[in-house]
């Protein structure tokens, strides 16, 4: 999915289009609750590619009880001794849930491999087995969508500089991000091998150009909606009931301190 060539999408048309997509995401949410749908969405990509912004755009108008975001911390000693994908499995969606992985089991094929946190043998073993695991996930009735966000070198540099200079964004910058930034080619090779090994008919990869953040968000949300066969369930017409009369009782000034 490639964004239109030209000037970045302006804020007003972006917000107008996003509003319509948010309404559809609510319908998707209600479908999942009503029909017991299960959707798993995986986001991977280069550092600074905009994964967090996409996830925020998806989730800002829906219920966190239905749209659940999973961003796991580094594994514990116990988890390191488990089968690699084991710690991710409990977070897969149950009926009525849409789970979004902000990075996923593909850490092994990407950051762990590039940064030397696993051996080449472990990385290759993961790539040989992951498609079988995903086949089992899909066969269980889960819709699995995998997105890779690709940002250009110049735009990645600009965003990393923003994280350094903007006090609102310094939390987004870690020592690991700086090390990863220097290994562009290593990440490209790891990405390409990951695609060759795990781009399957039952769980294909979708690559998204994300230099234009706003257009990328719209493209991804539109693609999610087109990939799930949802229909809004019937909804009864809602009418506010009459409020009880207070009678002679006065409203008590119940709080000692007020703001604003």
Spatial separation of the C-alpha atoms in residues 36 and 118, rounded to whole Å: 37
Alpha-carbon Rg for the chain, nearest whole angstrom, is 22
Which residues are paired to 99 by β-bridges? Answer: 40, 68
Q: pLDDT value at position 248?
A: 66
Spatial separation of the C-alpha atoms in residues 220 and 224, rounded to whole Å: 6
Of 74-78, 128-132, 224-228, the range with the lowest mean pLDDT is: 74-78
Interval 179-198 mean pLDDT: 95
2 falls in which pLDDT band (50, 70, 90)? very low
Interval 146-157 mean pLDDT: 97
**Ordered strands of the 205-209 beta sheet:** 67-70, 97-102, 38-45, 143-150, 205-209
Q: Which two tokens stand for residue 34?
A: 């009503």
Spatial separation of the C-alpha atoms in residues 104 and 96, rounded to whole Å: 21
Average of per-residue pLDDT values in the chain: 94
CATH for 38-227 is 3.40.50.300
Tell which phi-psi region holds residue 36, choosing left (phi > 0), alpha (psi between -120 and 50) or beta. left
Buried b (16+ CB within 10 A) or exposed e, 45-54: bbbbbbbeeb
Tell me the C-alpha to C-alpha distance, in Å, between residue 50 and each of 2, 75, 173, 213. 15, 24, 13, 7
pLDDT at 253 over 80: no
Total-model pTM: 0.91
- The label of the residue with tokens 């207070």 reads 246
Interval 63-91 mean pLDDT: 95
* Domain parsing of the chain, residue ranges: 38-227
Q: Name the packing angle between helices 51-59 and 213-227 (round to 10°).
A: 50
């Amino acid at each position: 999915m490639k964004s239109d060539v030209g000037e970045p999408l302006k804020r007003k048309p972006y917000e107008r289009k996003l509003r319509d997509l948010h309404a559809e995401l609510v319908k998707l949410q209600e479908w999942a609750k009503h029909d017991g749908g299960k959707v798993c969405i995986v986001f991977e990509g280069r550092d600074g590619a905009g994964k967090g912004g996409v996830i925020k755009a998806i989730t800002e108008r829906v219920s966190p009880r239905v749209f659940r975001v999973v961003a796991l911390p580094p594994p514990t000693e116990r988890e390191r001794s488990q089968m690699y994908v084991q710690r991710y499995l409990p977070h897969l969606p149950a009926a009525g849930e849409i789970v979004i992985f902000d990075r996923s089991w593909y850490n092994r094929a990407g950051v762990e491999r590039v940064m030397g946190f696993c051996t080449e043998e472990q990385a290759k073993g993961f790539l040989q087995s992951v498609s079988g695991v995903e086949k089992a996930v899909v066969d269980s009735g889960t819709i699995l969508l995998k997105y890779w966000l690709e940002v250009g070198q110049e735009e990645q540099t600009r965003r990393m500089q923003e994280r350094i200079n903007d006090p609102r964004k310094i939390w987004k910058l870690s020592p690991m991000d700086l090390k990863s930034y220097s290994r562009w080619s290593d990440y490209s090779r790891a990405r390409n091998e990951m695609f060759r090994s795990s781009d399957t008919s039952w769980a294909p990869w979708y690559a998204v150009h994300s230099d234009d953040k706003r257009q990328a968000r719209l493209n991804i949300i539109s693609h999610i909606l087109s990939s799930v066969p949802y229909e809004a369930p019937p909804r009864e017409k809602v009418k506010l009931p009459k409020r009880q009369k207070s009678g002679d009782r006065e409203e008590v000034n119940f709080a000692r301190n007020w703001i604003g």
